[in-house]
Structures are given as structure tokens and as C-alpha cells.
Amino acid sequence: GLFNHRIFQDKVSEYVKRNLPFTLILIDVDHFKKINDTYGHPFGDKVLVRIAEILKEESERQGFAARYGGEEFALIIDGSKEYAQYRADELRRRIEKEEFYTDEGERVYITISLGLASFPVDARERTSLIERADRALYIAKRSGRNRVISWAQEEMGLF
């Protein structure tokens, strides 16, 4: 029920043309390959579907959500970077607390890493914005996962 990658690219371009503040959040499910290898692809699919449902709920307030590719998602939050950082951390905590169970009744703990960059503060064009959010996501994963890193934090060395 989320936008696909092509629509995501178009939507980001539309947001840039509006010239109003927004934040792009790229989201990656931590250790997803291990989840698939340990519990099977049907369970991995259930995890992705549930995360997509949560992202759709989150984006209904404002902005939009998309499947970015594989186990990666994208979320646009209208408004200030500070507000988006707050919402990103809320989302991270929500996924961390979500109860995922295998068919055998085993609870599996799922976490996500998030990287964000804001328009126009961090970038004024679509490709730069995506690259910076992706770079922040990479730092979030490299520095321990289950965290939110923004482009400015990365630049200031606060990770």
C-alpha cells in the first residue's frame, strides 16, 4: 500500500518544487538478511508488511511513505527538521516495541535505522537530498543500528 520507488522520486521532485521545508527519512530494517535466513522469507515478508502499515499510518498525518527498495523505506515529513527528527525517533521506538511473532509463537525483536536530510537546510535539490539522507542512514547502521542520524549530526561529528 505504499508508493513505489518511481513515484517516490516524482513526489520528492514535487516537494522540492513547492519550496516548503520538509525532511526525507530513509529507513532500513536492521539485520534483515539474518531475519530471512533465520525465520524464513514468509516471516520477513510479514515484517515488511507490518512496517509498511506503520509507515502508512505515520504519513497520513502529513507527508508520504514509499518502499525505497528491498528492506528500505522512505518517509517524507512536512515541516521543520527538528519536528522530523522527533517523529523519526518516535517511529524508531514504535518499531522497537512492536511485537513480531513467528508461526511457532517466538517473539522476534526488530529494529530500524534511520537517516535524514532536510530541504532546504541540508540540500536544495532532489538528488543531493537523497544522497545525504542515504549517507546519514549509512552512518546510523555503521555506528550501531537502531538509531536516527541526521545529515547535520554527521557533518558536526555528533554520531
pLDDT in tens, 87-102: 999 999 999 999 999 9
Q: State residue 150's pLDDT score.
A: 95
| Parallel, antiparallel or unpaired: strands 64-69 and 72-78 | antiparallel
Task: Please tell me the pTM assigned to this model.
Answer: 0.93
Q: Which helix (H) or strand (E) holds 2?
A: none
Per the CB < 8 A criterion, the answer to whether 115 and 25 are in contact is: yes
Q: How far apart are CA 20 and CA 9, in angstroms?
A: 17
Q: Which helix (H) or strand (E) holds 133?
A: helix 126-142
Q: Which helix (H) or strand (E) holds 39?
A: helix 32-39
Question: Does the annotation mark 99 as catalytic?
Answer: no
Main-chain dihedrals φ then ψ at residue 154, nearest 5 degrees: -60, -45
Catalytically annotated residue among 58, 60, 71, 96: 71
Q: How far apart are CA 58 and CA 64, in angstroms?
A: 8
- The pLDDT tens digits for 35-79 are 999 999 999 999 999 999 999 998 987 889 999 999 999 999 999
Length of the chain: 159
Residues in Cβ contact with 130 at an 8 Å cutoff, skipping those fewer than 6 apart: 12, 24, 26, 117
